[in-house]
């Protein structure tokens, strides 16, 4: 039996295990939700780790948004997950910060191509509430803080980026694939029963009508308008200028400073130093530990049998949501 066949068998086995795990996870989550006195719901506060010693009454929290801003339900407890960005955990961290009077500042590190419109809005609104609670927010952009990555950065009191940072891509995108012609070539027919004319809008098995396009474009335009308002408010920038900048193009960190989307060139350490000076009083610097059990796909067994391309493909099958979704996303 050659290695390719073995890899295929292992891939299929992983998928079956993943499906079984997610089914069990669903019922476990239902049970946990219903039983609020269980040990799993006793403590919701994230575990802290001290980065720099200092005043415990005057603290700074380091947060990271590293990866696509999207909510994959159960990903925080999914051993098949990538161990990257966990949306529900991140929202809990923001809620903790908002209620903790000892926290005076937040350094948010953003390294993301963006993500879901809904998830980006959730983070943005939480950050606004943190500011309303009297806390200072600085953002440090990594290699990329585009689209939704910029959306969540906009409320910050100050934004730092390196010259090499890719940011911008300000706008909304919604995509689908149409494989009707391919299906026709192979003699594949589809039977669709629907309750209304537009129930199968963006179906991959039929062409889009002009009415379909108008409906989807209206949704995109609404989200785009919201994006422009978020930037205008966060950056204290006229909307006309925002519309000029928000044509979907990518900007370097240097260009973003020149056009007003970013305040200063600097890396994470420089942003932290600036925030420490702003807060004053020798603040303690902490971060919250990530609560996950890692990724199965990082284990030596998985890597030894499966080529990287197949590992990535299986991970996408397990974790990616299905169906077209409005995205603040820099598209590849």
Catalytic positions are 147, 199
Residue 119: closest CA among 143, 98, 149: 149
Q: Are 112 and 66 in contact (CB under 8 A)?
A: yes
CA distance 300 to 119: 33
Q: Is 248 left (phi over 0), alpha (psi -120 to 50) or beta?
A: left
Residue 268: closest CA among 49, 94, 128, 62: 62
- The values of phi and psi at residue 252, to 5°, are -75, 165
- Non-local CB neighbours of 205 within 8 Å, separated by 6+ positions: 178, 179, 180, 183, 190, 192
Kind of pairing between the strands at 166-168 and 136-146: parallel
CA distance 254 to 26: 46
CA distances in angstroms from 100 to 52, 92, 93, 123, 137, listed in the order given: 18, 12, 11, 18, 15
DSSP state of 208: P
From the number of C-beta atoms within 10 Å of its C-beta (0-12, 13-18, 19+), residue 149 rates as buried
CA distances in angstroms from 207 to 196, 204, 213, listed in the order given: 17, 8, 10
């Amino acid at each position: 039996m050659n290695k390719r066949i073995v890899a295929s068998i292992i891939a299929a086995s992983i998928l079956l295990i993943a499906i079984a795990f997610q089914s069990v996870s669903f019922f476990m989550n239902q049970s946990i939700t219903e039983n609020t006195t269980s040990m799993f719901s006793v403590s919701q506060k994230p575990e802290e780790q001290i980065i720099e010693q200092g005043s415990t009454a005057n603290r700074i929290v380091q947060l990271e948004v590293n990866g696509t801003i999207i909510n994959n339900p159960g990903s925080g407890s999914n051993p098949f997950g990538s161990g990257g960005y966990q949306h529900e955990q991140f929202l809990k961290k923001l809620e903790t910060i908002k209620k903790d009077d000892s926290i005076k500042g937040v350094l948010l590190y953003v390294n993301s191509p963006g993500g879901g419109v809904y998830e980006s809005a959730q983070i943005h609104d939480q950050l606004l509430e943190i500011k309303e609670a009297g806390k200072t927010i600085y953002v440090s952009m990594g290699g990329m803080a585009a689209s939704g990555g910029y959306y969540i950065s906009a409320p910050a009191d100050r934004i730092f980026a390196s010259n090499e940072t890719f940011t911008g891509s300000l706008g909304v995108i919604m995509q689908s694939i149409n494989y009707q012609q391919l299906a026709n070539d192979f003699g594949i027919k589809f039977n669709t029963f629907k309750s209304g004319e537009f129930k199968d809008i963006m179906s991959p098995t039929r062409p889009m009508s002009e009415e379909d396009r108008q409906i989807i474009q209206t949704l995109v335009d609404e989200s785009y308008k919201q994006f422009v308002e978020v930037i205008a408010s966060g950056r204290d920038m006229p909307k006309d200028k925002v519309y000029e900048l928000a044509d979907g193009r990518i900007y370097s960190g240097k260009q973003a400073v020149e056009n007003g989307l970013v305040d200063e060139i600097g890396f994470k350490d420089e942003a932290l130093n600036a925030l420490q000076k702003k807060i004053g009083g020798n603040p303690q610097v902490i971060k919250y530990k990530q609560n996950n059990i890692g990724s199965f796909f990082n284990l030596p067994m998985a890597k030894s049998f499966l080529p990287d391309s197949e590992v990535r493909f299986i991970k996408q099958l397990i974790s990616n949501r299905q169906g077209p979704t409005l995205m603040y996303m820099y598209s590849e």
